[in-house]
Chains A and B, each alone.
Chain A
Amino acid sequence: DQQVKQNSPSLSVQEGRISILNCDYTNSMFDYFLWYKKYPAEGPTFLISISSIKDKNEDGRFTVFLNKSAKHLSLHIVPSQPGDSAVYFCAAAEGGYQKVTFGTGTKLQVIP
């Protein structure tokens, strides 16, 4: 039962353009969402998060949007840079419980 889904396994974007990574979830108890970035042969690193009381959170070139009614969130990267090429994982957690559920990841390639 995949509660967090990333339906696009890969995405290619030209350098300088916007990258949009999507994530859907099924568990309505999730109230906190995170994005992680992973380079090959390394562990994931935290990128940005959003609480369910917000619909947008921005940090530099990275913005996460949350649509609770659609159970959908997205990560926007503007402008995209070659160093952003990595696998991006969406993750979700429910109230006060430390366990985090990860999606299957989207491999982003930013073409110079």
Chain B
Amino acid sequence: NAGVMQNPRHLVRRRGQEARLRCSPMKGHSHVYWYRQLPEEGLKFMVYLQKENIIDESGMPKERFSAEFPKEGPSILRIQQVVRGDSAAYFCASSPPTSGTPTYEQYFGPGTRLTVT
């Protein structure tokens, strides 16, 4: 059973370009979460999605950032018109459908390191 896949692992973009980060959750997982880790900081929650639905986007910047988790295919985190401050590691995590007592355990991908030049 493959783990959470993220691609690309490294992404370099010039200021003003768009960045697309992809996340394939573990098989059977229907919940996807995106986190951002800035240098020397912890994991900051960005968005929580289920298939075709955004459940919680309270951590997403109001502009330039969007996320989706379509019925088919990976989850996408899209950053438009990137700026230097967007340089960070972006982690995706997934969890299975909740049944009975939730465990809150999330399985993380290896991350995408975005560098904006």
Contacts and interface: CB of A to CB of B under 8 A. Distances in A.
Given A98-B95, A99-B48, A105 B42 contact: yes
Nearest to B98: A98
Interface residues of A, number: 23
A45 B104 contact: no
Interface string B94-114: 010010001111111111000
Interface stretch (A11-19, A36-44, A64-72, A73-81): A36-44
B45 A46 contact: no
Nearest to A6: B42
A41 B45 CA distance: 19
Interface of B: 4, 31, 33, 35, 41-45, 48, 55-56, 91, 93, 95, 98, 102-111
**Top-9 shortest CB links A-B:** A43-B108, A104-B42, A102-B43, A93-B104, A44-B108, A105-B42, A43-B110, A46-B105, A32-B104
